A and B are shown apart, each in its own frame.
Chain A
Amino acid sequence: MSELVVKGVRKTYGSLVALDDFSATFRPGEIHAILGENGAGKSTLVSILSGFVTPDQGGVSLGSRDLPLGQPTRVRQLGVSMVHQHFALVPAMTVEENFALDRLWSSKGLLNLSELAGPALELAERLDWAVEPKARVADLPVGVRQRVEILKALVGNAPVIILDEPTAVLSAEEVEDLFRVLRSLRDEGKVVLLIAHKLDEVLSVADRFTVLRRGKWITTADRGDVTKEQLVQWMIGDQLNIEPAGRKLGENVVCALRKVKANDETGVLRLTVDDLEVRAGEIFGIGGVDGNGQKELAEVLVGITAPVAGTREGDPSVAYIPQDRQREGLVLDLSIVDNISFERTSLVGFAIDNPKARRRLATELIERYSIKVSEAEGPVKSLSGGNQQKVVVARELNTKRDLIVAVNPTRGLDFRAAAFVHSSLLAAREAGSAVVLITADLDELRELSDRVGFLSGGGLKLGGDASAMLEGH
């Protein structure tokens, strides 16, 4: 059994350093958890290890062999298997067919399903992990789908298996079962790499930890040598307690949530908020790791999603800067003018389009928000990420609204664009709007918020103790 050794890996995206001179050794027969906040560089690291991303510098070796980074298929054949958060399964096909598809390179001509799927099914048996070969993947619960995905990854007898946030989609029972299997893989002498952010879970299964912060290696430690508090400290740095500036809050409650529960689109409960009041003239900052109810909270506040229980009080006019600007904030194929000028109110009834007025408005906004465009009639997808975000911000903040909800509004933006978004939000607060800033960026939270809270497992905990976001539910 051989070690997986990472040597001086560095990866940049534009001016952003995603991973900076990272080195580590992952030993066979251990479950090694890689910890870090959003944006710490975990995803970049696993993408490099599994061959999907080529680093600017450095290399990775397995035993005596250097891995051909940037060639995922080759890397996998050499024994590094990856279980992605998004499953690579064909929903309309059976479990057996999915197993077979993954081994298809080893077969030509006639399709022998039982032969191709056999090894995976035997492995399932050995791990005491039942899957029904004839069941359609689409009909299976998500935990079982993940089993199929993990079994696929294990079949080639890969010595290294990497799991990216495997517990994010699982119930508590399913997590326990997953960990049981991970332990038995460890006992077989595999390198098991676990990307995670829920500390309580990871503490119960990992043998060693490596902590990343802002692309940098912080430490690697054995389970026996660390406390949870220390890990939290390493992950967040010395900014554990966020103390808002203590401005005097306005009296006017713009929007309030009372005993609200909300589901995601698949009907799973994702958000439980007992009491949240947002007042005019404040920025209410909500921190937390992505996927803990952020999207649902934003959509309930904005009014896109109706809560399944509880009430949303107040009927404010709303501006929304969604997390996924490309899918929810913009129509990528339409022009900058169209994107920046469509007013929600004009969608009601038969307002007659006035292209001239819209072009005038667009030109004015492009000027005022200094959006870098070659031509205003060009499609918005031709803009850089930062300028796309400016288009969204310009449109949403152009008219005064009672409530502004912004989700990770500066993610992926360079320093100047981010500073611009920040000043726009502050200006909106000064103008008397209530701003809810939902972000995973603690600096942003600290700089802008008047009051803060943290989301974890769909629950909202008020107050500035950032370790709240790493607690279990």
Chain B
Amino acid sequence: MIATILLFSVPLILAAMGEVVGQRAGMIDIGQEGKILIGAFVGFIVAKITGSLIVGYALAVVAGVALGCLSTWFTAKLQLDQVVVGTALNLLALGATSIAFRIYVGDSGKLLSIDKAPALFGLDPVVYLAILSPAVIWFVLMKTSWGLSVRASGEYPPAVEAAGISVIRRRFEAAMLAGGMSGLAGAALSIALSGSLGEGMSAGRGFLAIAVVTFGRWRAPWVAGAALLIGVIDAVQYRFQGQAILGFKPPLQLWQALPYLGALLILFALGRGAGAPAALGRAYNKER
């Protein structure tokens, strides 16, 4: 049961850790969902073709970094609206992966499968990565020089420029890190969690990651805790699917909606409130 919960939480934790870095730098990345989807496809297909899971994971990360660069080009450099760019990226990813899926698998709609990585002390190695990631991200954000300037870029960009540091450059770097984490999250989803590939398999995890970041108040350890909690709900619903409760058998869709319902309720209870980076979602323009 614990192994299941952990596995369920892995993609969410990884993606949310990336989102923490991005949001701390002042970028709200709606395109998270698309990056996970692309990561899932690239990771899976590359692993399948090369026969090496490590190469699959690596290329998924590369794809995520590239997408992070692309969306930051639009949002930080060209100063387009972050929500619009993110949404466009999601639609693009959905379309591109659907086409790739049809070409690769044909129209049959069947799932592809892959052999999972050999377990390490009973768990998939990627689980350890996810367990370590909150500590690493926390350390990078709070205990390095780079982290301080990233956080300041999300709070009050003029102070960063006044200190002689480029805000746009910091945002690019943060988006690359965040994109890489999303790519990794996607590959973990297809290779480690499902062991198969399906259309639209990210199934809202990117949006959940955004909710979880708010839920965890932009602090890596809290966010990881929140992601784990959603993972628990997800694992529980998976287990109870199809079972009758007090003589009533809830429809499958209701069970599947449970993690999202949980996230919604938590968000509702906590609200936006204090703790959000002050410059979140705003492009920085030196002249203004």
Enumerate chain B residues within 8 angstroms of A88, measured Cβ to Cβ.
Answer: 156, 158-159, 161-163
In addition to A103-B163, A104-B148, A111-B148, 13 A-B residue pairs with Cβ atoms within 8 Å of each other are A76-B164, A88-B156, A88-B161, A90-B152, A90-B156, A92-B278, A102-B162, A104-B145, A104-B149, A104-B165, A110-B145, A111-B142, A111-B147
Q: For the complex, is B37 an interface residue (Cβ under 8 Å from A)?
A: no
- With A and B bound together, what is the CA distance between A89 and B165 in angstroms? 14
- With A and B bound together, what is the CA distance between A98 and B152 in angstroms? 9
Enumerate chain A residues within 8 angstroms of B142, measured Cβ to Cβ.
Answer: 111
Enumerate chain B residues within 8 angstroms of A110, measured Cβ to Cβ.
Answer: 143-145
Partner of A111, one of B144, B155, B158, B163: B144
Minimum CB–CB distance for B114 against chain A, Å: 39
Are the CB atoms of B165 and A91 closer together than 8 Å?
Answer: no
Are the CB atoms of A105 and B159 closer together than 8 Å?
Answer: no
Enumerate chain B residues within 8 angstroms of A103, measured Cβ to Cβ.
Answer: 163
Enumerate chain A residues within 8 angstroms of B152, measured Cβ to Cβ.
Answer: 90, 93, 97, 101
Q: Which of B142, B161, B164 has the most CB of A within 10 A?
A: B164
Q: Which residues of B78-136 have CB atoms within 8 Å of chain A's CB atoms?
A: none
Are the CB atoms of A98 and B155 closer together than 8 Å?
Answer: no
Are the CB atoms of A109 and B145 closer together than 8 Å?
Answer: yes
Contact status of A101 and B147, CB under 8 A, knowing A91-B155, A93-B155: no
Are the CB atoms of B164 and A89 closer together than 8 Å?
Answer: no
Minimum CB–CB distance for A71 against chain B, Å: 10
- With A and B bound together, what is the CA distance between A238 and B155 in angstroms? 48
Enumerate chain B residues within 8 angstroms of A97, measured Cβ to Cβ.
Answer: 148, 152
Minimum CB–CB distance for B277 against chain A, Å: 8
- With A and B bound together, what is the CA distance between A137 and B131 in angstroms? 34
Minimum CB–CB distance for A153 against chain B, Å: 10
Q: Which of A73, A92, A98, A108 has the most CB of B within 10 A?
A: A92
Give the total of A residues in contact with B, Cβ under 8 Å: 22
- With A and B bound together, what is the CA distance between A92 and B279 in angstroms? 11
Partner of A104, one of B161, B163, B277: B163
Enumerate chain A residues within 8 angstroms of B76, measured Cβ to Cβ.
Answer: none
Enumerate chain B residues within 8 angstroms of A76, measured Cβ to Cβ.
Answer: 164
Give the total of B residues in contact with A, Cβ under 8 Å: 21
Partner of B144, one of A90, A91, A109: A109
Are the CB atoms of A101 and B164 closer together than 8 Å?
Answer: no
Q: For the complex, is A107 an interface residue (Cβ under 8 Å from B)?
A: yes
- With A and B bound together, what is the CA distance between A111 and B159 in angstroms? 18
Partner of B148, one of A73, A92, A100: A100
Q: Which residues of B136-194 have CB atoms within 8 Å of chain A's CB atoms?
A: 142-145, 147-149, 151-152, 155-156, 158-165
Q: Which residues of A62-116 have CB atoms within 8 Å of chain B's CB atoms?
A: 73, 76, 86, 88-93, 97-98, 100-105, 107-111
Minimum CB–CB distance for B88 against chain A, Å: 20
Enumerate chain B residues within 8 angstroms of A100, measured Cβ to Cβ.
Answer: 148
Enumerate chain A residues within 8 angstroms of B155, measured Cβ to Cβ.
Answer: 90-93
- In the complex, 13 of the A-B residue pairs with CB atoms within 8 angstroms, ordered by the A residue number, are A73-B164, A88-B158, A90-B152, A90-B155, A91-B156, A93-B152, A93-B155, A100-B148, A101-B149, A102-B163, A104-B149, A107-B145, A111-B145
Minimum CB–CB distance for B284 against chain A, Å: 13
Q: Which of A88, A97, A109 has the most CB of B within 10 A?
A: A88
Minimum CB–CB distance for A464 against chain B, Å: 39
- With A and B bound together, what is the CA distance between A102 and B148 in angstroms? 10
Minimum CB–CB distance for B227 against chain A, Å: 24
Enumerate chain A residues within 8 angstroms of B149, measured Cβ to Cβ.
Answer: 101, 104
Nearest-CB residue, chain B, relative to A88? B162
Minimum CB–CB distance for A59 against chain B, Å: 22
Enumerate chain B residues within 8 angstroms of A73, measured Cβ to Cβ.
Answer: 164
The 7 closest A-B pairs by CB, nearest first: A88-B162, A73-B164, A90-B156, A88-B159, A102-B163, A90-B155, A107-B145
Nearest-CB residue, chain B, relative to A73? B164
- With A and B bound together, what is the CA distance between A161 and B243 in angstroms? 74
- With A and B bound together, what is the CA distance between A91 and B151 in angstroms? 12
Are the CB atoms of B159 and A98 closer together than 8 Å?
Answer: yes
Minimum CB–CB distance for A115 against chain B, Å: 11
Are the CB atoms of A101 and B160 closer together than 8 Å?
Answer: yes
Enumerate chain B residues within 8 angstroms of A102, measured Cβ to Cβ.
Answer: 162-163
Nearest-CB residue, chain A, relative to B164? A73
Enumerate chain A residues within 8 angstroms of B278, measured Cβ to Cβ.
Answer: 91-92
Q: Mark A257-285, 1 if CB is under 8 A from B, else 0.
A: 00000000000000000000000000000
